[in-house]
């Protein structure tokens, strides 16, 4: 009986040890977002892009969290929220969650307040130039252009530097409260220097605020369901797909089955029906439907054939002298009986030039024999010629002078009549 009881007690104890070990392992592999403000995003190791964070989200090793301008985020690393860190603005850290090293920080500033660690363990933060840690204290780790600044707010944190081969030194440089140091790449920590009192008081007040948020997170954790990582990632993926689909539909033109295409088809059908109705009404009212443009305008060959028919049938006769157009137009129609209304331009110009020379140009011989009086216009000379002609009719044959006058008058009178070879005016 005693052996049975002893065996039972031993079995229960082993089960309890295994359960506590698993609980500690689970706790060491997760960190909860207890509070945040501003723009905070998280990149899950299974995802490709950052997404907005929420309170109660559980982060695992390999996840990354970052804060934006004027933003902050607080993480808890145990169930009672006694091990907390606060990420200040423009900070990015990845969770390693190993035995001692919990965070790997690339930029920004982290305030750590650690008070409940298992015996023999530590809480460390890795930066590009150093590793800061503590077994239970408050300190600040900040990445700068020169290296890493470590500030001891309370108690005694330590610093380890990188060796020239890139490995972390096993040597720990312990700092006193109220001191700070800077660690450059591949160098030991610089000489300690004091922290400004105002800055130290600022972080001491901030510690109270962070722990207050941690206590509130415990209450909220009990009121909401446990965080389901897979379900959370599925929702994020659906939201991204929906957002991407909405943007693509907003940018692309509407397809054949879209509302815009339907409206265009309806408008076209309405116009066609109105046109057909108008044609039917015109036919019923005795009016002929409008012909096409081709039916209204005859071609060049049709015009020519119609003109030839009118000319051959005598419907179109040439103009004669005395009608509109004059003698010159009738000559043009006689010369070109094919129905041409006008003589060629070159022929017409020659006719005009010949008439101008005949009517206005005086033969050279006659101009030489009849001198013009100085200052007398051409009309006066013509009048003198007419008078000479009249004189010749009265005195011809009586005296030689009269004969000469008649001859002279005849010559002068030629200007009043038609010149030789000329055409009556």
pLDDT digits (tens, 9 = 90+) for 283-340: 555 554 444 444 455 666 676 677 777 666 555 555 444 444 444 444 444 444 444 4
Percent of the chain with pLDDT over 90: 47
> Could you report the per-residue pLDDT of 169-228, keeping only the tens digit for each?
999 999 999 999 999 999 999 999 999 999 999 999 999 999 999 999 999 999 999 999
User: Which residues on neighbouring strands pair with residue 183, listed in sequence order?
Assistant: 148
Report yes or no: 127 and 151 within 8 Å, Cβ to Cβ: no
Q: Tell me the pTM.
A: 0.56
Q: Which has more pLDDT, 284 or 131?
A: 131
In-domain check, residue 47 = yes
List the beta bridge partners of residue 72.
37
Is the backbone of residue 276 left (phi > 0), alpha (psi -120 to 50) or beta? alpha
When divided into structural domains, the chain yields a total of 2
Provide the pLDDT confidence category of residue 379 given band limits of 50, 70 and 90. very low
Please say if the pLDDT value at position 159 is more than 50: yes
Domain boundary residue, one of 202, 234, 266: 234
Does residue 107 surpass a pLDDT of 80? yes
Is 172 inside any structural domain? yes
Which residue bears the tokens 């510690």?
207
Asked if 141 and 112 count as a contact pair (C-beta separation under 8 A), the reply is yes
**Which whole-number Å values give the CA distances from 105 to 49, 88, 128, 324, in the listed order?**
19, 12, 8, 110
Specify if 266 maps to a domain. no
More confident site: 389 or 197: 197
Instruction: Assess whether pLDDT exceeds 60 at residue 358.
Output: no
Answer yes or no: is 418 within a domain: no
Using a 10 angstrom Cβ sphere, with 0-12 exposed, 13-18 middle and 19 or more buried, the burial of residue 69 is exposed
Q: Which residue has the higher pLDDT, 23 or 218?
A: 218
Q: Among 221-225, 364-368, 370-374, 392-396, which is the least confidently predicted range? A: 392-396
| One domain for residues 227 and 320 | no
Look at residue 119 in the predicted model and tell me its pLDDT.
Answer: 87
Residue-level pLDDT at 244: 77
User: Residue 412: its pLDDT value, please?
Assistant: 42
351 phi-psi bin (left φ>0, alpha ψ -120 to 50, beta other)? alpha
Where is pLDDT greater, at 224 or 6? Answer: 224
- Bridge partners of 216, per DSSP, are none
Range of the domain at 101: 31-234
pLDDT score of 261: 57
* Residue 98 placed within a domain: yes
Residues 148 and 142: their CA atoms lie apart, in Å, by 6
- What whole-number distance in Å separates Cα of residue 337 and Cα of residue 340? 7
Kindly state whether residue 381 falls inside one of the protein's structural domains. Answer: no
Q: Are residues 330 and 217 located together in one domain of the fold?
A: no
Which helix (H) or strand (E) covers residue 215, if one does?
helix 197-223
Note whether 43 and 50 are within 8 A (CB): yes
Average pLDDT in the chain: 75
More confident residue, 206 or 4: 206
Q: Which CATH number goes with the domain that contains 149?
A: 2.60.120.1440
- Kindly tell me if the per-residue pLDDT of 122 is higher than 60: yes
Q: Is residue 379 part of a domain?
A: no
Bridge partners of 194? 179
Whether residue 86 contacts residue 111, with contact meaning beta carbons closer than 8 Å, is answered with: yes
Strand order, beta sheet including 92-95: 51-52, 40-43, 64-67, 92-95, 101-107, 123-126, 130-134, 158-161, 173-174
Half-sphere exposure of 142 (CA within 13 A, CB side): 14
What pLDDT band is residue 241 in, cutting at 50, 70 and 90? confident
Q: Of 212, 234, 256, which residue constitutes the final position of a domain?
A: 234
Does some domain include residue 59?
Answer: yes
What pLDDT shows up at residue 250?
60
- Residue of higher predicted confidence among 159 and 403: 159
Q: Is the pLDDT of residue 410 over 80?
A: no
Q: What mean pLDDT is predicted for residues 330-354? A: 55
**Which of 177, 212, 234 is where one domain is finished?**
234
User: What percent of the chain has a predicted confidence (pLDDT) above 70?
Assistant: 53
Residues 95 and 201 placed together within one structural domain of the fold: yes
Give the model confidence (pLDDT) of 45-78 as tens digits.
Answer: 999 999 999 999 999 999 999 999 999 999 999 9
What pLDDT score does 131 carry? 97
Same domain, 198 and 107: yes
């Amino acid at each position: 009986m005693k052996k049975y009881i002893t065996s039972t007690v031993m079995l229960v104890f082993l089960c309890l040890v295994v359960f506590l070990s698993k609980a500690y392992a689970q706790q060491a592999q997760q960190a909860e977002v207890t509070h945040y403000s501003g723009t905070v995003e998280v990149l899950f190791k299974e995802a490709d892009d950052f997404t907005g964070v929420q309170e109660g989200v559980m982060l695992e090793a390999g996840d990354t969290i970052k804060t934006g301008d004027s933003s902050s985020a607080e993480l808890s690393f145990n169930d009672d929220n006694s091990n907390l860190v606060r990420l200040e603005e423009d900070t990015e850290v990845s969770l390693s969650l190993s035995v001692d090293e919990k965070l790997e920080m690339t930029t920004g500033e982290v305030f750590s307040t650690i008070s409940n660690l298992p015996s023999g363990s530590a809480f460390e933060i890795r930066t590009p130039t150093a590793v800061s840690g503590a077994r239970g204290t408050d300190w600040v780790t900040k990445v700068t252009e020169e290296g890493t600044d470590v500030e001891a707010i309370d108690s005694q944190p330590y610093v380890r530097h990188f060796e020239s081969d890139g490995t972390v030194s096993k040597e720990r440089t312990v700092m006193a409260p109220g001191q700070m140091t800077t660690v450059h790449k591949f160098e030991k920590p610089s000489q300690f220097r004091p922290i400004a009192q105002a800055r130290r008081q600022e972080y001491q007040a901030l510690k109270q605020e962070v722990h207050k948020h941690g206590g509130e997170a415990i209450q909220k954790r009990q009121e909401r369901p446990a965080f389901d990582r897979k379900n959370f990632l599925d929702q994020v993926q659906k939201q991204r797909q929906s957002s991407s689909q909405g943007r693509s539909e907003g940018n692309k033109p509407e397809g054949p089955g879209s509302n815009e295409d339907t409206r265009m088809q309806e408008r076209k059908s309405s116009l066609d029906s109105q046109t057909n109705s108008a044609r039917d009404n015109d036919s019923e009212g005795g009016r002929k439907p409008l012909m096409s443009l081709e039916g209204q305008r005859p071609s060049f060959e049709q015009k020519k054939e119609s003109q030839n028919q009118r000319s051959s049938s005598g419907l179109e006769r040439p103009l004669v002298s005395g009608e509109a157009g004059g003698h010159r137009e009738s000559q043009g129609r006689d010369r070109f009986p094919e129905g041409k209304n006008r003589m060629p331009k070159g022929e017409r110009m020659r006719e005009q030039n010949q008439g101008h020379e005949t009517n206005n140009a005086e033969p050279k011989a006659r101009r030489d024999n009849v001198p013009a009086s100085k200052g007398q216009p051409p009309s006066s000379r013509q009048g003198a010629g007419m008078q000479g002609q009249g004189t010749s009719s009265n005195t011809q044959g009586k005296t030689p002078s009269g004969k000469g006058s008649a001859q002279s008058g005849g010559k002068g009178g030629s200007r009043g009549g038609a010149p030789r070879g000329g055409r009556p005016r």
